[in-house]
A and B are shown apart, each in its own frame.
Chain A
Amino acid sequence: MRLRVLIALAALFASASALAVAAPTTSLDITAKSVDFFSNRYVVTADGDVRVRLSDGTLVTGQTFTMDLKLNRFLVAGDVRLDGPAVHAAGAAFAGYPDLDRSYFLPAPADPAATPERWTYYGLDWSNAHAGREQPGDAFHFPDLTGERPYIYAVGARITPKTNVLFTFPRVYTAGVYLPLPRYVVTFSANSHFYENGFQGARSDVALPFNGSEHSLTALHLRNDAFSGTYTAIDQHFVWNNDWIVASIDPLTQVQRQYNVIGFKTFSPKVQGRLFLQESAGSAGIINPPIINAAAFTEIQLNAGLRRSGLSYTQDNYFQQLLGFRTPPDELMSTAFYDPRWREHPMNAALTWTGFQNSLSKNSPISFRLRSGFGWAHDAYGEGGYVNEQPGPKSLIYHFAGGLLSTNAIKLGKGPAPYSLTAQYDRQRQWYSLPHHVDTGDGRVSLSRELFRQHVSYYVAYEVRTVGDYWGDRQLAAYPTPTDTIVTPFGTYGGQSAFRGFATSHGLSASVVYTPTQYVGVNLLLSRFYDTPGPIPGAYGQPPVQLVGDLRVRLSKQVLVDLTRSYYFNFANERWTPQFGIQFLP
């Protein structure tokens, strides 16, 4: 009996080990006289004394190597030797197809009288050559790189299929020159989470990814923004199929730093969670404790898919003045303004249910979507803060219900270029424990048309948005008559005295898109807003008339120039926006 169990276990281990070897390689370590990367084609080539070590230790040597990173296939050709614990063979070429879990080999018979064969290996199982098995017609083809210039020259590379390439001692093409670096990682993963970071927006960002593996990426950034100037930042990614974490310090080399962590977890196909932690701290040097000040912000999001609906929980926490304020003598902060409530931590939490989009009836172009929820907010200063509630309660409970009614695009007329009509209306009421309630409404209707022959499409849209804060008998106490005229550095603006807590915005927009060729596109959007109360520059409101122009020109296969500029018709002495928005995109 024991013998049978032993045999069964042995068989189990044997099958397990057979399964283990019948798997594609998880990495390729390449050394050669020259290793090049062609970024336009996602192709890595290597020439001269090429040595490719597969993840099981098998060594493939040859004259030349090429790998299409996107197609996930590689080729070693010319005087090829295949050496491993279970294989020693010489041949003309070796092609690896990890996605098919196959390797194709052209052995070179030592005897000139012998007939050449084609061998196929399964995964990393080198014990069976499967001679005479059908192979892909282009298994041994080289990619055509005519006219392509390498983006990177290196002497070695470690390729993690479907994820990244780590180049050792590369020279990277930057601003017209090849810049020598100790390491450089090119990530080509289909997983977008390798590219999400916790940085703030910047005018420019040059990344230097210098370390990476199947599940990680480390990058140094050189950034520039209006507030901090030019500075460095660093981020570290850990990425799995459905989960990821990114930690960053931005800026790294300035006194005022932000430490960010974003974590995303898929607990099940129907439950996801996201955590964002941010600490802002000021300290001289990188490793010194913060001495100037520190504050933090956290956000927790949990989403769950229900039957034809979704549930989401969101919680924001604010941690102001983490260090508190020192008693005198403190040359950095005057204690005259000290308020113990600075140590308090405002918080807001909300649970929201959102239904799926449902049609009013079968074949109806009208659909609706409902939502509701409740929440709790807390701030030591008092929530609300209206004139009639001084100070407001420290904690506030609210609940809300709303819905969206919308149409599909409804064709009007017949022919090759009919008009298309869409309409929608969103309405919500939110009740507060204060007590008062806020009603919001947003209605929009648009008429559009596409003239395919003229390469033109255009639409006009009319939108009405309303916000009303209802206090009942206490309306005028909450909203006493404000000053009618407000003087700002941009001028004097009147018409404010009518505000009683109800605001309305009417907007009329017209847009035209002209794409005469596949290389050029022009987009113009003209908007006119009528807001009550009227807009006050620097305080609230939007320019009454806005024109946004967008010109896109494709200069080459890889370079698209996007020029954007806005005109505000002298609102707040603003005509053209201060600068062009220019983007070079692939």
Chain B
Amino acid sequence: MTRRIAAFFAAAVLLALALPSLAQGTLVRVTGQLLDVRNGFVYFTSGDAFKLAAAPRIADYDTGKPTTLQPRAKLFARAIIDPATKQVVELDLTTRHLADDAGYASVAQQYAQTKPTTEPAPEIVGQRISGKEVPVTFTVTVPPTTPLNSDVYISTDASNWNPQAIKMNRIDGQRYRAIRRFASGTKFFFRVTRGSWNSVERDQSGLEPAPHEFFVREVDSQGRDVTVYSWSDDRANSPQQAAPGAIPTPFNPNPFPPGGIFPPSRATPPGGFPTPRPPAQPNRPPR
């Protein structure tokens, strides 16, 4: 008796589960973003074209009722396909952004009308990029002569080459570090600066190097070490560069300006207007 009751309930459950499918026949559904509907085909952004039935029903995606929306590019749509004819009998439209249809590929493989591609394209390199945030650690080794209180920045093309885009923290006597999060797949170029384009990294020869290129891979974290050998405003014969904004000091600028006591304090440019120079006013050491 118990077995009969269990069998009855099992049959009832199976019937309940199967009913909706039976009610809908064997129609197949596929969801995606539209490119176009024309000449009897509906095109999705996958590039697949599905054949339209003679008079397909156009309905609202959420309510299933008739809609004023007309099929056009960028709209999201659910195509209901009759497997028997392989034609789209109903198109449900919405302006909402719909999530990717996990079953799209299998349906498209069976019912899309587009001719399959036969010629390989070696220039296309497949790479799965999800766009997830990846922490990227930049570590910059600066020239040992860089003052301890100097600010060092990373400037990127993604920030319109703002020379103060990413401020770094000094972590010891030689290195600075910054961590930023980028979406995987991001590709950018960067240079290391001291806050302005007058003070930017140079290579060992003193030449301006090409900007560093960086690609954010599909990994959990990424790092990039850069060594700056000199700054563009370094003068080898004046190792004690004035720090911007600092109060003058015997060291900054020092009382013995190298390069032949030059530039003299009375020379106004760069950045200023000349003032009448009193005659015979020499540079003097501090008094």
Q: Is B47 an interface residue (CB 8 A)?
A: yes
Q: In the assembled complex, which residues on chain B have CB atoms less than 8 Å from the CB atom of A537? A: 247
Question: Complex Cα distance A135/B33, Å?
Answer: 18
Q: Does A170 sit at the interface, judged by CB under 8 A?
A: no
Within 8 Å of chain A (Cβ to Cβ): is B7? no
Q: What chain B residues lie within 8 Å of A535 (beta carbons)? A: 247, 249
Q: How far is the CA of A540 from the CA of B253 in the complex (A)?
A: 8
On whether the beta carbons of B285 and A141 are closer than 8 Å, the reply is: no
Starting from the known contacts A195-B197, A432-B260, A467-B255, 11 additional A-B residue pairs (CB-CB under 8 Å) come to A131-B115, A278-B269, A296-B269, A382-B282, A409-B172, A422-B172, A423-B173, A447-B172, A509-B149, A523-B169, A538-B247
Whether A220 sits at the interface, judged by CB under 8 Å, is no
17 contacts between A and B (CB under 8 A): A64-B73, A91-B36, A93-B47, A108-B39, A140-B45, A295-B268, A354-B204, A373-B237, A385-B282, A400-B237, A404-B145, A409-B172, A440-B240, A448-B171, A467-B254, A479-B285, A505-B249
Contact with B181, one of A459, A486, A518 (Cβ below 8 angstroms): A518
Within the complex, what minimum Cβ distance (angstroms) separates A246 from chain B? Answer: 10
Interface presence of B83 (CB below 8 A): no
Question: Provided the pairs A140-B35, A424-B144, A585-B159 are in contact, do residues A310 and B47 lie with their beta carbons within 8 angstroms?
Answer: no
Residue of B nearest to A189 (CB): B157
Kindly list chain B residues whose C-beta atoms are within 8 Å of the C-beta of A102: 121, 123
Instruction: Answer whether residue B61 sits at the interface, using C-beta atoms and an 8 A cutoff.
Output: no
| Cα-based distance from A303 to B229 in the complex (angstroms) | 14
State whether B36 touches A80 (Cβ < 8 A): yes
Contact A503:B254 (CB < 8 A) given known A424-B144, A483-B287, A540-B247: yes
In the complex the two chains form, what is the Cα distance from A297 to B269 in whole Å?
Answer: 6
Interface of chain A residues 357 through 374 with chain B (CB within 8 A): 357, 371, 373
A85–B41 CA distance with the chains assembled, in angstroms: 28
Decide if B36 touches A108 in the complex (CB within 8 Å): yes
> Count the A residues whose beta carbon is within 8 Å of the partner chain — how many?
179
Q: Taking CB as reference atom, which chain A residue is nearest B271?
A: A200
- CB-based contact A190/B157 at 8 Å: yes
Contact partner, A540, options B172, B181, B248, B263, Cβ 8 Å: B248
Q: Which of A392, A409, A533 contacts B250 (CB 8 A)?
A: A533
**Knowing A116-B41, A354-B230 touch, does A457 contact B171 (C-beta < 8 A)?**
yes
Query: Is B222 part of the binding interface, using a Cβ–Cβ cutoff of 8 Å?
Result: no
Give A383 to B282 CA distance when docked, in angstroms.
8
Question: Cβ of B187 and Cβ of A387 under 8 Å apart?
Answer: no
User: Which residue in chain B gives the minimum CB-CB distance to A116?
Assistant: B49
**Assembled-state Cα–Cα distance A357/B229 (Å):** 8
Chain A residues whose CB sits within 8 angstroms of the CB of B66 once the complex forms: none
Q: How far is the CA of A101 from the CA of B124 in the complex (A)?
A: 11
For A294, the closest partner residue in chain B by CB is B274
A5 at the A/B interface (Cβ < 8 Å)? Answer: no
From A11-19, A51-59, A342-350, give the one contacting chain B. A342-350
Contacting pair B118 A132 (CB below 8 A): yes
Partner of B161, one of A109, A192, A523: A192
Contact of B287 with A521 in the complex, beta carbons under 8 Å = no
Contact assessment for A390 and B282 in the assembled complex, using a CB-CB cutoff below 8 Å: yes
Q: Counting CB contacts under 8 A, is A153 at the interface?
A: no
Contacting pair A272 B43 (CB below 8 A)? no
| Residue pair A305, B205 in contact (C-beta under 8 Å) | yes
Q: Cβ of B119: which chain A residues have Cβ within 8 Å of it? A: 130, 132-134
| A444 → chain B closest CB, angstroms | 6
B132 an interface residue at 8 Å Cβ cutoff?
Answer: no
Q: Does A430 contact B (CB under 8 A)?
A: yes
Q: Cβ of B20 < 8 Å from any Cβ of A?
A: no
Interface residues of A in 106-131 (CB under 8 A from B): 106, 108-110, 112, 115-118, 120, 130-131
A439 to B, closest residue via Cβ:
B256
Smallest CB separation, B13 vs chain A (Å): 40
Determine the chain A residues whose CB is within 8 A of the CB of B177 once the complex forms. Answer: 457
Q: Is B28 an interface residue (CB 8 A)?
A: no
Bound complex: CA A276 to CA B198 (Å)? 11
